[in-house]
């Protein structure tokens, strides 16, 4: 049975995936802005969703569903603004406008594949590692080997903002591959517990930076029309990484030294990211922010719809013109940035306490009750279900919108939890109870993968301003890693004290609470460019437009 700390790392996979990046909120305060009273934030949040409905003189694009390009080639907000919403072929047939940007975001999302791989790589061979490195029979040290990764990710998330602001996402992704490669090599060659812990810590630092970087990069490079679809590559990449690690780990059941091969293999994606990102574009928003407007225009011309280039560049320049100074962490205490930071932190807090760690941990026991004794096989079923949900999310993200998927996802998770609680708590036939537990577990994972997983990481950068986007993301993911660790650490203790039924009922209640939170405080970002969202949510900028 895995140690509770190990589940913290497993849960991180599903979570981060986070997601597709998003619009730039001009959340930068004016020079006259004063720190907002934090106690009044809930009241301000109640009014915040109304702002998107009052964007300047043009109706917001998300007020009408995004349709494939028509032969008229119409542009403007109704067709999607700023990000090349008309990115298709213009013939009314299959829309392949996303193909121009796909190689770039696919290369970046390999970081999420590596994230998933490092989560799954410890699933099977941890006992062999403990035996060979001399800490067999010590569940605390086994859990520490797995969860030291999360400690590194915590520090990586905190440092990500400074790196992105200075070097941009492209170069930072390359730099960040260094601890990922070195950490994997140290772990593969480890002859002691200390060497293994150092390697896992370095890998965690790299993953912590990447979980912030990839959603940011995709949100700033992807055309508006495809931002949601392309953003789900984060979740899909993580799922594929987990499945790859579990599949590659099958020989470890017969070869006690196979874990070294698995860790050596983790170096390969790191090298591919370094090479691949050399051919990827920089974010046009970051290029404009550092004054390289000609380079930014070249990127926009190469990836977005030609008819949107001029308008997009005007919006990007307008936003950059209002950001005349460097951001600092104290900006997250000032309105309106504090609202986004509060929402981002709350979404990750609620996501973790909705129980994804616990469900992942207990899933192996659930499958064992119905005769599936192989932990790797059970994890593979969970991984495939997660992957299937991510594929569904990629198809629905730009059609149904982020808010609907988020609410529906948490309602599905709540129903799944209560289904499991019913099967556990009431006197039912054993076969029926086991079937309800399996069904509830897989339904929970699937529901998580269509909304709570990908949307959380996607919508936070969409709601953030260009000025504070990296810091809001860094703060939000820092909250995620802390909660991830705490839930994994105390889950078994809660189960032993209150019972599985009570704990799962609590997870279901948090899921319902999160659906209510999303309904009241999350605004729809589908079909809006980053600049449009930023200008609509920034009082000063909105006033200038009017």
Q: Give pLDDT, residue 121.
A: 87
Give the integer Cα–Cα distance in Å for 206 and 175: 9
Give the integer Cα–Cα distance in Å for 455 and 347: 10
Q: Give pLDDT, residue 449.
A: 95
Structure tokens at 216: 């940011």
Q: How far is CA 525 from CA 26, 397, 400, 531, in A?
A: 14, 10, 11, 11
Q: Are residues 346 and 221 in the same domain?
A: no
Q: Are residues 226 and 375 in the same domain?
A: no
To the nearest 10°, the Cα dihedral for 24, 95, 409, 379? -110
Q: Give pLDDT, residue 8.
A: 40
Q: Are residues 361 and 510 in the same domain?
A: yes
Residue 325 in any domain: the answer is no
Give the integer Cα–Cα distance in Å for 232 and 325: 32
Residue 182 in any domain: the answer is yes
Residue 528 in any domain: the answer is yes
Q: Give pLDDT, residue 508.
A: 96
Cβ(105)–Cβ(233) below 8 Å = yes
Residue 87 in any domain: the answer is no
Q: Give pLDDT, residue 82.
A: 40
Residue 344 in any domain: the answer is yes
Q: Are residues 272 and 362 in the same domain?
A: no
From the CB of residue 89, how many other CB atoms can be counted at a distance below 10 Å? 14
SS3 state of residue 524 = coil
Q: Are residues 256 and 160 in the same domain?
A: yes
Structure tokens at 77: 């907000």
Which residues on neighbouring strands pair with residue 35, listed in sequence order? 334
Residue 154 in any domain: the answer is yes
Residue 313 in any domain: the answer is no
Q: Are residues 251 and 369 in the same domain?
A: no
Q: Are residues 352 and 501 in the same domain?
A: yes
Q: Are residues 200 and 127 in the same domain?
A: yes
Q: Give pLDDT, residue 374.
A: 66
For residue 106, the domain's CATH number is: 1.20.1250.20
Give the integer Cα–Cα distance in Å for 386 and 384: 5
Number of structural domains in the chain: 2
Q: Give pLDDT, residue 62.
A: 38
User: pLDDT under 70 in the chain at which residues?
Assistant: 1-94, 323-325, 364-366, 369-376, 538-546
Q: Write out the residue range of the structural domain in which residue 241 sits.
A: 98-281
Give the integer Cα–Cα distance in Å for 52 and 70: 26
Give the integer Cα–Cα distance in Å for 283 and 471: 17
Q: Are residues 360 and 457 in the same domain?
A: yes
Residue 398 in any domain: the answer is yes
Q: Are residues 276 and 376 in the same domain?
A: no
pTM of this prediction?
A: 0.79
pLDDT tens string 198-231: 999 999 999 999 999 999 999 999 998 899 999 9
Q: Are residues 372 and 265 in the same domain?
A: no
| Boundary-marking domain end, from 246, 281, 316 | 281
Q: Give pLDDT, residue 539.
A: 58
Q: Are residues 275 and 336 in the same domain?
A: no
Q: Give pLDDT, residue 375.
A: 66
């Amino acid at each position: 049975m895995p140690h509770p700390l190990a589940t913290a790392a497993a849960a991180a996979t599903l979570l981060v995936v986070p997601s597709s990046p998003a619009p730039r909120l001009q959340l930068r305060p004016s020079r006259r802005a004063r720190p907002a009273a934090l106690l009044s934030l809930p009241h301000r949040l109640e009014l915040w969703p109304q702002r998107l409905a009052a964007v300047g003189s043009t109706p917001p694009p998300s007020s009408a569903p995004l349709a494939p390009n028509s032969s008229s080639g119409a542009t403007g907000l109704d067709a999607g603004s700023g990000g090349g919403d008309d990115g298709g072929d213009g013939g009314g047939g299959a829309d392949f406008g996303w193909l121009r940007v796909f190689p770039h975001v696919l290369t970046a999302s390999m970081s999420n594949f590596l994230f998933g791989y490092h989560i799954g790589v410890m699933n099977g061979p941890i006992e062999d590692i403990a035996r060979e490195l001399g800490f067999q029979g010590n569940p605390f040290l086994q859990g520490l080997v797995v969860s030291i990764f999360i400690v590194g990710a915590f520090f990586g998330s905190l440092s990500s903002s400074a790196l992105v602001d200075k070097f941009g996402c492209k170069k930072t992704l390359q730099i960040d591959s260094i601890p990922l490669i070195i950490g994997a090599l140290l772990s593969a060659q480890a002859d002691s517990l200390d060497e293994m812990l150092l390697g896992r810590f370095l890998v965690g630092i790299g993953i912590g930076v990447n979980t912030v970087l990839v959603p940011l990069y995709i949100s700033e490079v992807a055309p508006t029309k495809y931002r949601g679809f392309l953003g789900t590559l984060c979740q899909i990449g993580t799922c594929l990484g987990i499945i790859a690690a579990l599949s590659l780990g099958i020989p470890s059941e017969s070869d006690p030294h196979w874990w070294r091969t698995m860790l050596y293999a983790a170096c390969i994606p790191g090298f591919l990211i370094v090479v691949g990102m050399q051919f990827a574009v920089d974010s046009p928003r970051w290029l404009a922010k550092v004054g390289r407007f000609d380079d930014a225009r070249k990127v926009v011309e190469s990836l977005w719809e030609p008819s949107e280039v001029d308008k997009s560049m005007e919006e990007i320049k307008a936003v950059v013109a209002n950001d005349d100074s460097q951001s600092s962490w104290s900006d997250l205490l000032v309105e309106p940035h504090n609202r986004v930071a509060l929402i981002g932190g709350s979404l990750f807090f609620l996501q973790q306490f909705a129980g994804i760690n616990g469900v992942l941990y207990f899933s192996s026991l659930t499958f064992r009750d119905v005769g599936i004794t192989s932990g790797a096989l059970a994890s593979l079923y969970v991984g495939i279900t997660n992957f299937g949900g991510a594929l569904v999310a990629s198809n629905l993200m730009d059609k149904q919108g982020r808010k609907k998927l988020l609410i529906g996802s948490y309602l599905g998770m709540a129903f799944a939890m209560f289904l499991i609680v019913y099967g556990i708590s009431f006197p039912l036939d054993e076969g029926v109870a086991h079937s309800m537990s399996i069904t509830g577990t897989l339904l929970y994972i699937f529901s998580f993968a269509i909304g709570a997983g990908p949307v959380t990481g996607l919508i936070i950068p969409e709601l953030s301003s260009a000025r504070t986007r990296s810091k809001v993301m860094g703060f939000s993911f820092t909250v995620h890693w802390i909660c991830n660790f705490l839930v994994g650490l105390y889950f078994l203790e809660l189960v032993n004290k209150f019972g599985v039924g009570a704990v799962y009922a609590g997870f279901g209640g948090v899921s319902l609470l999160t659906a209510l939170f999303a309904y009241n405080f999350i605004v729809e970002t589908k079909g809006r460019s980053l600049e449009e969202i930023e200008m609509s949510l920034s009082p000063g900028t909105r006033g200038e437009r009017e």
